A and B are shown apart, each in its own frame.
Chain A
Amino acid sequence: MQHARSLAPARQREGSPWTGLWAVVAKEMADYLTSARMMILEALILLTAFGTVYAASQNLRAGAGTSDDFLFLRLFTTAREPLPAFVGFLGLLVPLLAIALAFDSINGEFNQRTLSKVLAQPIYRDALLLGKFLAGLGTLALALTAIWLLIIGMGLLQLGVPPSGEETVRMLWFLLITIFYGGIWLALAMLFSIIFRQPATAALAAIAVWLFFTVFWGIIASLLARTLQPAPPGDTQALINQIQLELLLTRLSPNTLFSEVALAMLNPAVRALGIVLPIQLHNAIPGTPLPAGQSILLTWPHATGLIAATIVLFAIGYILFQRQEVRA
């Protein structure tokens, strides 16, 4: 029935679907930036950034003189016991921040009974949904950019040299990918906020997915690879096939994509993201550094993958939201 109607010809919608988009973005972004939960998480990230980067810079200063051309990148990747490096924290905190921003974006409007009122204004649902997403992404971008600036500022103070052009390009690209990485979790949390009426359920569901990819996916991928592509002892080709399958499977996880990008961008010596997939960034393979442009090319598929997954999640949410009854 619904189907038949959508096939009807000349069912053109009046006006632009983005009418009112900026009004939504402005309001949502103001909400996000002043909300308590955003401030708590931002303080947490700032604290981690400060702590890890400070520790890293101390380490780097101690080892000064070792001719390292990429001191600024080391700020992100150098760990000092017992703290892991800042990139390690980023992989965990960015999803949390994104989930915290979006888990109640649609069901919150339902529960506040503002949804039917807002949709009774001359806007389409498209504008509301995209507006909320863009506001979330904008907030993430703002928060992360601030942290990057903080790190660079600390680097300037502690290391006493400005970042090179190469380093700047690498840090910028890494910032961009980090924002996209947040975008995936934002879209996921938003999708759950459409599916579940209770914000708590949506938040739990999103965190469950996050935990799944952070903790279990690696194990599952390796189990799957071993079952699907058994490698008898001595058969090198089979072993390579198995490892390649495992790699393919782990790359279905945004966490893997993100950590590979981090590896390639912050470690110019990494020339390929192939079978060698070091989990620990500071154990990177020695070698001549790759130019920034080459590293970007290396991580281009990852960026595309992250964006594509975000679009798919957003589209699913969009379709569900269009069909949803507005009344509570």
Chain B
Amino acid sequence: MTDVVIECRDLTKQYGAFTAVDHLNLTVRKGEIFGLLGPNGAGKTTTILMLLGLTEPTSGSVKVLGLDPARQPLSVKARVGYLPDQVGFYDHLTARENLHYIAKLNGIREPELSKRINEALDQVGLSNVADRRVKTFSRGMRQRLGVAEILIKQPQLIIMDEPTLALDPEAVREFLDLIRQLKASGITILLSSHLLQQVQAVCDRVGLFHQGRMVLEGTVGELAQRVLGGAYRIHVEAEGGDAVAAALRALPDVVQVSANGSRYNVEARADLRAEIARKVIEAGGKLLGLSVDTPSLDEVYARYFQKGAAYAARA
């Protein structure tokens, strides 16, 4: 029980007649990295704001670290680090001065204050530009400063809203490394993103939002199982003509085979690589290549929204 960090029960937010978040149930456990996915306007930011007590829920309950953000906002906000989408800074102040203000707002005093500022700057690699004004910072540096502002309060939970937006690939990679480090130090992380490969690379579990509802939730593998019907996509390259194609189709658990010259795409319910290799040889073919796609979140996402209507009806 104590290791539940976020718990939402039937959480609902309405703006007038419009329901931005609709009976959301969500549980995030200690030490997890949870990814919130979903198209624009799905309700991710609204959910995050309710977790922080920055927006009042219309109905339902939220518990963050066992506290109610609406009733105990100070305790929640002292323990949770929040990186808003497109975080801003006081541009006329230096990185250190920005951090100093945030630390003061958190009631951190000297000498602890200077120590934490230096540690946070070190951790995000901004020590050498600490005394430069933030207006001279690049997007990537600002993002790292945003993380430093979170680290300074030594949070138990970090919530990040589209943290990798507008970062270059290298910066994204560094950022994901940083997230893994944070996880290693025992911090729970909730992040929302549109960049599916990254979410897949770093998240333990993901939740897919659509029109205010969480329509899918689980590990990437579980989602693939549900949305792609447990499909494995196996790429075969073999010479041998129709005999090979027939042999592949004859395998049990094969859903579909599509041929393109000597390349075949096999959709199967299991990883059939060993069987395929054997059958190709048996059919007198020459096996040139064999590989399997790991289920990707991209695919799950695309497939889900292709069949969106059908799933929405079921969910």
Check A229 for interface membership: any CB of B closer than 8 A. no
Tally of A-B Cβ pairs under 8 angstroms: 81
Tell me which of B21-29, B102-110, B174-182, B240-248 binds A.
Answer: B102-110
Most buried by B among A13, A20, A122: A122
**A327 and B49 contact, CB distance less than 8 A:** yes
A window 2-45: CB within 8 A of B: 5, 11-15, 19-20, 23-24, 26-27, 31
Cross-chain contact of B77 among A12, A113, A120 (Cβ < 8 A): A120
Contact with A along B113-149 (1 / 0, CB 8 A): 0000000000000000000000000000000001001
**A121 and B86 contact, CB distance less than 8 A:** no
What is the CB-to-nearest-CB distance from B18 to chain A, in angstroms, rounded to a whole number? 13
Check A241 for interface membership: any CB of B closer than 8 A. no
**A20 and B90 contact, CB distance less than 8 A:** no
Report B-chain residues with C-beta under 8 Å of the C-beta of A119. Answer: 54
Task: Give A10's nearest chain B residue, CB to CB.
Answer: B71
Report A-chain residues with C-beta under 8 Å of the C-beta of B149. Answer: 117
**A112 and B78 contact, CB distance less than 8 A:** no
Report B-chain residues with C-beta under 8 Å of the C-beta of A327. Answer: 45, 49, 84
Task: Give A120's nearest chain B residue, CB to CB.
Answer: B82
What is the CB-to-nearest-CB distance from B84 to chain A, in angstroms, rounded to a whole number? 5
- The number of chain B residues touching the other chain, given as a range, is 20 to 34
Q: Give the distance in Å from the alpha carbon of A119 to the alpha carbon of B54 in the complex.
A: 8
What is the CB-to-nearest-CB distance from B87 to chain A, in angstroms, rounded to a whole number? 6
Check A325 for interface membership: any CB of B closer than 8 A. yes
Check A149 for interface membership: any CB of B closer than 8 A. no
A window 99-143: CB within 8 A of B: 112-114, 116-124
What is the CB-to-nearest-CB distance from A67 to chain B, in angstroms, rounded to a whole number? 54
**A112 and B73 contact, CB distance less than 8 A:** no
Q: Give the distance in Å from the alpha carbon of A14 to the alpha carbon of B76 in the complex.
A: 11
**B87 and A27 contact, CB distance less than 8 A:** no
- A sample of 27 cross-chain residue pairs with beta-carbon separation below 8 angstroms, ordered by A number, consists of A14-B71, A14-B72, A14-B73, A14-B75, A15-B74, A19-B74, A20-B105, A20-B107, A112-B90, A113-B87, A113-B88, A116-B49, A116-B82, A117-B82, A117-B102, A117-B146, A117-B149, A120-B77, A121-B102, A121-B105, A121-B153, A122-B73, A122-B75, A122-B105, A124-B73, A325-B55, A326-B55
Report A-chain residues with C-beta under 8 Å of the C-beta of B71. Answer: 11-14
Most buried by B among A26, A114, A117, A124: A117
Report A-chain residues with C-beta under 8 Å of the C-beta of B74. Answer: 14-15, 19, 122-124
**B90 and A114 contact, CB distance less than 8 A:** yes
Known: A112-B90, A327-B49. A122 touches B77 (CB 8 A): yes
**B55 and A117 contact, CB distance less than 8 A:** no
Interface SS majority for chain A: loop
- The number of chain A residues touching the other chain, given as a range, is 20 to 34
Contact with B along A316-328 (1 / 0, CB 8 A): 0000000001110
**B107 and A122 contact, CB distance less than 8 A:** yes
What is the CB-to-nearest-CB distance from B27 to chain A, in angstroms, rounded to a whole number? 22
Report B-chain residues with C-beta under 8 Å of the C-beta of A14. Answer: 71-75
Top 6 nearest A-B pairs by Cβ distance?
Answer: A113-B88, A23-B104, A120-B82, A121-B105, A122-B78, A112-B88
Can you name 8 extra interface pairs (CB under 8 A) apart from A123-B74, A326-B54? A20-B105, A27-B104, A112-B89, A114-B89, A117-B84, A117-B146, A124-B73, A124-B74
What is the CB-to-nearest-CB distance from A31 to chain B, in angstroms, rounded to a whole number? 8
Known: A19-B74, A120-B84, A326-B49. A5 touches B105 (CB 8 A): no
